[in-house]
Amino acid sequence: MSLARFRIAARLFAVAALAALTAGCFQPMYAEHADGTPGLREKLMGVELPPVDKPNASHEARLGVEIRNALAFKLYGTATGLPPTHRLVLRFYTSRSSLMIDPNTALPTSENVGIDAQYNLIEISSNKSVMTGTTFARTSYDMPGSLQRFARARAFRDAEDRAAQEIADNIQTRLAAFFTAGT
């Protein structure tokens, strides 16, 4: 056997040995456990999502419902939640800023929508906070000419909905990490 073939064989053996050593460490997040403990899906389905505390019929109330619905779909899927073990309290603030101004009309042509959210996961049995965090989302949208008011309003709403989905994604990812790792 030549020296080059021996080196290749030794490298392949080393890679196979390392893979065999770490194979027992890997466990998919959403896999069912053989020992009967609840899996991540069941833990996420035990999170209660109370309505966001915003004044009824306000602009932010619509956005709170959008975030809550997106988060509920990510946690429960098409099913309903299980008996709650945790409660997720959500607070958020919105912002809007102009990115570009048309020099001829002095009207904005591109704007940015921002949502800053704070969340607190409370264990229901002890009423203690077990995890807190913050997240944010920024989405931009272009506005058509100044005479197209409906298109401008729809672009703003679509940008808010995209930001709400991003907030829900961030919170769901953090909750999954918490229930998997416990921290």
User: Per-residue pLDDT tens for 138-176?
Assistant: 999 887 766 777 888 898 999 999 999 999 999 999 999
Q: CB–CB of 99/111 below 8 Å?
A: yes
Is 156 strand, coil or helix? helix
Q: What is the pLDDT of residue 70?
A: 94
pTM for the predicted model, two decimal places: 0.79
76-88 tens-digit pLDDT: 887 676 789 999 9
Please identify which residue in the block is written with the tokens 């056997």: 1
Q: What is the pLDDT of residue 120?
A: 97
For 15-29, 64-78, 120-134, 149-163, which range has the lowest pLDDT when averaged over its residues? 15-29
Q: State CA 63 to chain mean position distance.
A: 15
Q: Average pLDDT of 2-31?
A: 77
The Cα-based distances of 163 to 57, 96, 153, 179 in angstroms read 20, 12, 15, 24
Look up the CATH architecture of domain 38-181. 2-Layer Sandwich (3.30)
What percent of the chain stands above pLDDT 90?
43
Q: CB–CB of 143/168 below 8 Å?
A: no
pLDDT tier, 27 (very low <50, low <70, confident <90, very high otherwise): low
Q: What is the pLDDT of residue 47?
A: 92
Q: At what angle do helices 149-181 and 59-76 cross, to 10 degrees?
A: 40
pLDDT tier, 55 (very low <50, low <70, confident <90, very high otherwise): confident
Q: What is the pLDDT of residue 82?
A: 76
Q: How far apart are CA 113 and CA 158, in angstroms?
A: 10
Which two structure tokens, joined as six digits, stand for 76? 């429960």
Q: What is the pLDDT of residue 3?
A: 78
Q: How far apart are CA 42 and CA 157, in angstroms?
A: 33
For 23-32, 67-76, 98-107, 169-178, which range has the lowest pLDDT when averaged over its residues? 23-32
Q: What is the pLDDT of residue 81?
A: 64
